[in-house]
Homo-oligomer: A and B are copies of this chain.
Amino acid sequence: MPDIIKIRDVANYEEQEVQLQGWLYNKRSSGKLRFLLLRDGTETIQCVVFKGSVSEEVFEKATQLTQESSFRVIGKVTKDERSPLGFELQVSDLEIVHLADEYPITKKEHGTDFLMDNRHLWLRSSRQHAIIRVRHEIIRSAREFFDNRGFTLVDAPIFTPNAAEGTTTLFETDYFEEKAYLTQSGQLYGEAGAMAFGDIYCFGPTFRAEKSKTRRHLTEFWMIEPEMAFCDLNKDMQVAEEFVSHIVQNVIKNRNKELTILERNLDFLSNVKPPFPKIHYREAVEILKKNNIDFKDGDDFGGTDETVISEQFDRPVIVHHYPAQVKAFYMKRDPQEPESALAMDMLAPEGYGEIIGGSQREDDYTALLERIKEHNLPEKAFAWYLDLRKYGSVPHAGFGLGIERTVSWICGLSHVRETIPFPRTMHRLYP
């Protein structure tokens, strides 16, 4: 028997006999010919079954095959200029592994609920393949960026006794007769890591029990969060722009085929190189006013505001110096303008909104304790966090990048639900 190979490797086997195995993605019949589109997860290839070249039994099997049936074929790899792959297979033998029942996902239009109910099958479509592969590349290059710069991975816990940003949107669980909450961000723990290792990142799922049904919200989403000791807001913004550029350029380079399948316009993506425009909150408010947006100075930006601001630029824009009162308690205030936090958000172009939120952190014990009290946070639960300001406190900063929003932007999707293999939303816990 010839070697079993993956379809992505057929170019190395031109004019040779190989064995392939996978699922039937599509089929055409024409007289004495059966054209079987075989997918094996790495690629798809057209397998040509000619009645004159195979046994009657094999031709019968090829005729029987239903969509998503699994099968093995033996055949010769030949050049085929017309196919996207550049090769097809001239079949000499075929074995059915499993004849599929009538496949529920057909070529007709399906409703979103139906597709989401069948997410375990929907993942087999070429469009979902492309998205998940881009997601993988985003995650791979995100880790690579920090690994190459000598950051240490310091995983934050998922179970936490306290909440970084209020308790209303927390998932709660019984923890051996105590209460535990699912983390909304690894940042506070990342700060402890930065005091130990200098530059760290954590990367894991985070959770928000938000009752929002917008196209930007999941209850379970992944975040990568670097935290750097001896770092101020400026350096933080610089690392963030280099980081996002690294990811985007890697996806363009390594997942070009997938972006083509997604019909992604690369004009905006190709621009994503440092430096990014960086504007003060005040300038962002000016943009809104110029565009006749009804906005109350001092508020945080909503989705529409972010869209209008980001539409002014040809690459992601960083807005910094948000009013302290709309930002989290742990953000340091600018000594030069104490009403502003040393905070920054990165807004993706084309209306994709916030993909990064970050800040320089309050490093003064007394100021931080005051904020904790102001926000009515349980001081005892934050004792360890305050400790970081007692023993060798240093200026430090970091940010968090939401993976799903980044996938959504880079793939050009209209809804975040396709950015993760098994999305969880307010009304979606299955499959």
Which of A286-294, A326-334, A383-391 lines the interface with chain B?
Answer: A383-391
**Residues of B with C-beta under 8 A to A120:** 189, 192, 384-385, 387-388
**Residues of B with C-beta under 8 A to A156:** 421-422
Contact A391 B101, CB 8 Å, known A178-B429, A429-B178: yes
Contact A429 B230, CB 8 Å, known A140-B147, A147-B140, A172-B173: no
Q: How far is the CA of A90 from the CA of B42 in the complex (A)?
A: 57
Stoichiometry, copies per complex: 2
Which residues of A come within 8 Å of B, CB atoms?
A: 4, 6, 8, 21-24, 40-42, 68-70, 97-98, 100-101, 103, 118-121, 123-124, 128-129, 132-133, 135-136, 139-140, 143, 147, 150, 152-161, 171-176, 178, 180, 182, 189, 192-199, 204-205, 207, 209, 211, 219-220, 222, 229-230, 363, 381, 384-385, 387-388, 390-395, 420-424, 426-427, 429-431
Q: How far is the CA of A90 from the CA of B421 in the complex (A)?
A: 55
Question: Across the interface, do B173 and A173 meet the contact criterion of CB distance under 8 Å?
Answer: yes
Question: Across the interface, do B153 and A135 meet the contact criterion of CB distance under 8 Å?
Answer: yes
Q: How far is the CA of A247 from the CA of B426 in the complex (A)?
A: 39
**Residues of B with C-beta under 8 A to A431:** 189, 192, 384-385
**Residues of B with C-beta under 8 A to A123:** 154, 192-193, 196-197
Contact A392 B100, CB 8 Å, known A173-B173, A198-B22, A220-B158: yes
Question: Across the interface, do B103 and A132 meet the contact criterion of CB distance under 8 Å?
Answer: no
Q: How far is the CA of A68 from the CA of B159 in the complex (A)?
A: 28
Q: How far is the CA of A147 from the CA of B230 in the complex (A)?
A: 33
Contact A175 B429, CB 8 Å, known A196-B123, A392-B24: yes
Question: Across the interface, do B392 and A152 meet the contact criterion of CB distance under 8 Å?
Answer: no
Question: Across the interface, do A197 and B41 meet the contact criterion of CB distance under 8 Å?
Answer: yes
Identify the closest chain B residue to A105 (Cβ): B391
A210 to chain B, nearest CB (A): 10
**Residues of B with C-beta under 8 A to A178:** 429
Identify the closest chain B residue to A364 (Cβ): B98
Question: Across the interface, do B159 and A129 meet the contact criterion of CB distance under 8 Å?
Answer: no
Question: Across the interface, do B392 and A195 meet the contact criterion of CB distance under 8 Å?
Answer: no
**Residues of B with C-beta under 8 A to A143:** 140, 143
Question: Across the interface, do B41 and A152 meet the contact criterion of CB distance under 8 Å?
Answer: yes
Question: Across the interface, do B97 and A220 meet the contact criterion of CB distance under 8 Å?
Answer: no
Question: Across the interface, do A150 and B42 meet the contact criterion of CB distance under 8 Å?
Answer: yes
A135 to chain B, nearest CB (A): 7
Question: Across the interface, do B41 and A180 meet the contact criterion of CB distance under 8 Å?
Answer: no
| Complex A-B: 13 CB contacts under 8 Å | A6-B150, A41-B229, A97-B392, A97-B395, A121-B391, A123-B154, A123-B193, A124-B195, A140-B143, A143-B143, A155-B421, A156-B422, A176-B209
Contact A41 B196, CB 8 Å, known A156-B422, A172-B174, A394-B98: yes
Q: How far is the CA of A294 from the CA of B407 in the complex (A)?
A: 55
Q: Which 7 A-B pairs have the closest CB atoms?
A: A41-B198, A384-B431, A70-B392, A120-B192, A41-B197, A123-B196, A157-B422
Q: How far is the CA of A176 from the CA of B429 in the complex (A)?
A: 10
